[in-house]
Structure 1
């Protein structure tokens, strides 16, 4: 079965509209690319989506083709300010691509196409980066070791303090058990204390001769 004829009108469904835009944009750029190859033509395509997103294609320099267009039509597409802005955007795009390429090289990717000189420069840059990472790692290690020792010293001091408190508590407990603890006579009165002494036991004389001696 052949495909039915599609009515050319605005697609109301936003999802379907976006899908159709993506497909037809790709098809249009593909046709423009084929036209430039088959006919050795200079082709430039500029597309703005309904959300304002720019999509462009040119088989050579876009500014060169637009310059030819301006010269041929005798009209100015943009003023010097817009031209400078366009050049700045182009420069930033090229710089961004260069940074991405350098990042891939730093990861060891896409290095097969690099010449010997670039490989040597890349090796030097990686060695410098590794040395910086090692220096920072060693610094962090020393700092962490210092902090660990400091925490250990603090824990030892706290342990000694707790041992001293425990020793004092044991000594006080032993004094109370032996009857030498000091307490308040009147159950909490201020300034009046008494020494608790263990009860004494008096030996009663049981021998007949001791009774007469007055004991």
Structure 2
């Protein structure tokens, strides 16, 4: 007769649960003894019943086996700690390096703003002055480039206004009576803008030449 597979869950019936505990406890202790004899293994088993009764088996001394277990667990934990520290060490060094770099940048920033200069030597101040001169040269070059672009834009507007002015004057020369009041106002605006725009362009040109 094929034996059915026992479902692993708590046995609700108290009598059946106690009988199963007693039977399986004896079987477990017997297997532990057999394992110790057949394989020359140091085996220790500790069982507490549902009522708190102690049941145990040890192939040698239970106390010595427990102490051996504690030492083994401690050695295992100690052996894994250096591995964790070894992996964390590069990250720690990188964090320290980045923190030092940020501190250096903050110090350099304060010096460029003219702060915390009391500890600077003559050589340090000269180096800082050269850095500022290079920065000013770059800023001036960028400003000059922007002025030149602005002058080119103004010159282009000037050419457009001159062309529009020429067209309106030609229309006025051919037939003065066909020019409406709106066209006359446009001529006046173009001439005014043209007369105002030229000195600005000349001023920008003189500034660049200086």
Q: TM-score range, shorter-chain basis?
A: 0.3 to 0.5
Output the TM-score relative to the length of structure 2: 0.42
Question: RCO higher in 1 or 2 (8 Å CA, sep ≥ 6)?
Answer: 2
Q: Which has the higher helix share?
A: 2
TM-score, normalisation: structure 1 = 0.41
